[in-house]
């Protein structure tokens, strides 16, 4: 990405202002990217408290790197690169195994509206929880690069080129990763779509 293209990236502009000591711009970046980063990390590590802790580290690293920041890539690419690196490192450390063992889906990780929706019957709630558990396990079972690619593509709606930069591979490699990942998910979750 050249300097001209970087000029179009408003986030990069904000980050350059952060570099100049503008704290308000850091706040704007946080406001814009807080939720996507936390949600991405949540789906990657599947523990909301861990996801928030890792997201704190992501934004802290952004802040620490302000003095050396150069807009050589899109800001979100850089941001998700840090997030993916931290999330996958956490998974590689094996800490997730403890977490997956206690995935009971009745924890605080379940969206609040699902708990408070009094119209839904208990039976419907149980079916919904079971489906959710299957989706989570199916995604957790994907190889780490495929998992990260699916989460960025499906839930964060990122472009192939951006996912490729985040994962450090070619665009065609990302397409291939996604194709294989969706094939696996379709096979595993086919009964749910009928």
Partner 1 sequence: MNCPMEHRKPETLVAYAAGELDGETAASIERHLRVCPGCRLWVAEQAALWKTLDIWEAPAVSADFDRRLYRRVAGEVRLSWWERLTRTLRPMPLRQILPLAATACLLLIASFLVQQPDQLAPPHPGAGLVRADQVERTLDDLELLRQFGAGNQVEAPHADTM
Binding region for partner 1 (CB under 8 A): 26, 30, 34-35, 38-39, 42-43, 48, 52, 55-56, 59-60, 63-64, 108-112, 114, 128, 131-132, 135-136, 139, 153-155, 172, 175-176, 178-179, 182, 185-186, 189-190, 192-194
Cβ of residue 36: shortest distance to partner 1, in angstroms? 10
As a whole number of angstroms, the distance between CA 81 and CA 69 comes to 14
Cα separation, 69 vs 67, whole angstroms: 6
What angle, 0 to 180 degrees and rounded to 10, lies between the N-to-C axes of helices 171-193 and 160-167? 110
Nearest residue (CB) to partner 1, 5 versus 131? 131
User: Measured from the CB atom, is 69 or 155 closer to partner 1?
Assistant: 155
CB of 79 to partner 1, least distance (A): 14
Q: Is 181 exposed, middle or buried (0-12, 13-18, 19+ CB in 10 A)?
A: buried
Shortest CB 176 distance to partner 1, Å: 6
Nearer residue to partner 1 within complex by CB, 100 or 132: 132
Nearer to partner 1, 19 or 39 (CB): 39
Cβ atoms 158, 80 nearer than 8 A: yes
Rounded CA-CA distance 3/1 in Å is 7
Q: Cβ of residue 113: shortest distance to partner 1, in angstroms?
A: 8
Nearer to partner 1, 4 or 121 (CB): 121
CA-wise closest residue to 40 among 155, 175, 184, 157: 155
CB of 144 to partner 1, least distance (A): 18
Q: How many CA atoms lie within 13 A of 133 on its CB side?
A: 14
Report the candidate in 30, 36, 3 with the shortest Cα–Cα distance to residue 15: 30
């Amino acid at each position: 990405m050249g300097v001209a293209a970087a000029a179009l990236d408003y986030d990069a502009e904000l980050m350059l202002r952060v570099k100049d000591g503008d704290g308000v711009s850091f706040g704007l970046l946080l406001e814009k990217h807080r939720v996507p980063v936390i949600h991405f990390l949540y789906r990657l590590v599947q523990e909301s408290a861990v996801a928030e802790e890792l997201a704190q580290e992501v934004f802290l690293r952004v802040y620490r790197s302000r003095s050396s920041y150069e807009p050589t890539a899109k800001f979100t690419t850089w941001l998700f690169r840090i997030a993916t690196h931290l999330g996958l490192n956490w998974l590689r450390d094996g800490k997730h195994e403890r977490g997956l063992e206690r995935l009971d889906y009745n924890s605080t990780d379940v969206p609040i509206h699902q708990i408070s929706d009094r119209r839904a019957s208990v039976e419907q709630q149980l079916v919904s929880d079971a489906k959710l558990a299957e989706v989570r396990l199916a995604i957790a079972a994907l190889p780490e690069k495929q998992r990260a690619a699916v989460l960025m593509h499906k839930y964060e709606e990122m472009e192939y080129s951006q996912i490729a930069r985040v994962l450090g591979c070619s665009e065609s490699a990302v397409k291939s990763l996604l194709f294989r990942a969706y094939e696996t998910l379709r096979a595993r979750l086919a009964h749910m779509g009928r």
